[in-house]
Amino acid sequence: MRVVVPYAAAEPKTRLADALSPAERSAFADEMLADVLAAIRATGREPELLATEPVETDAPVTVDRRPLTEAVNAVLAETDGPVAVVMADLALATPDALARLFDAEGEVLLAPGRGGGTNALVARADDFRVDYHGSSYLDHRRAARAVGADATVVDSHRLATDVDEREDLAEVLIHGGSAPEYPEADANPDPRRTSRARSWLRRAGFDLADDEGRTTVERESGFAPRS
């Protein structure tokens, strides 16, 4: 099975503009990508990047400057056999969570993201195509039925958590990897995987802040990890 990780290399994570500078957003996105690639490898599979421009990484890279939907559908069209598509900002992804997706039975497997997105999927039906605009999760369920498949849904908080906004950073600090200061924060410690995204946030001065409702983040001033 091909495991494709789309990556928008230019100006990533714009919705984190209230928390990180452009250079920081780019560096943080790189760390999340590295975590996702490591988690995929720990399942025994070899990830490949589908990037909007050339990037330096230790995985094979295909450059496709088209929008996400078109680029992914080109991969689906050219591939005989199953394809997995895993978003690059799933900083909480563990090998266990990904294996639940990769190994589930069904022609189309979907891991919904919070807010109606599709954070990861496996397409074993040849004719299945993606559409990432809008509430893609519901659209992908319809698309699966359209090719005679019933989508199987993988219920995972780790895979549902794409890191797009400031409040998502709290999830990375709580659940991301096994950084030494919070060894309790990893349900599935895996020596092959340390959370680079979480460590980066800590170096950048972020810590958990107990707010009125959900736990959020605060940033100590004066920290600026090199980008």
Contacts with its own copies, residue ranges (CB under 8 A): 15, 94, 96-97, 112-117, 133-135, 137-138, 141-142, 145, 151-153, 155-161, 164-165, 167, 170-171, 174-175, 182, 184-185, 187, 208, 210, 212-216
CA angle 98, 8, 162 (to 5 degrees): 40
CB of 165 vs its own copies, minimal distance in Å:
7
Residue with tokens 């309790």: 184
CB of 166 to its own copies, least distance (A): 12
**Main-chain phi, psi angles of 9, to 5 degrees:** -75, -25
Q: Could you tell me the smallest distance in angstroms from the CB atom of residue 226 to its own copies?
A: 28
The torsion angle over the Cα atoms of residues 80, 131, 52 and 78, rounded to 10 degrees, is 10
Shortest reach from residue 16's CB to its own copies, in Å: 11
Minimum distance of its own copies from residue 184's CB (angstroms): 4
Of residues 17 and 63, the one with the C-beta less far from its own copies? 17
CB 204 within 8 A of CB 179: no
- Count the neighbouring beta carbons within 10 Å of the beta carbon of residue 104: 14
Tokens of 4: 């494709």
Return the number of other C-beta atoms located less than 10 Å from residue 138's C-beta. Answer: 12
User: Are 154 and 101 a contacting pair, CB within 8 Å?
Assistant: yes
> Which residue, 187 or 224, has its beta carbon nearer to its own copies?
187
CB of 41 to its own copies, least distance (A): 20
Of 54 and 189, which has the nearer Cβ to its own copies?
189
H/E stretch holding 208: strand 206-209
List Cβ neighbours of 204 (8 Å cut-off, separation of 6 or more): 20, 24, 28, 219, 223, 224, 225
With CA atoms as reference, report the closest residue to 115 among 129, 136, 101.
Answer: 136
- Of 213 and 222, CB closest to its own copies: 213
The structure tokens listed for 153 are 């849904």
Which CB, 2 or 100, lies closer to its own copies? 100
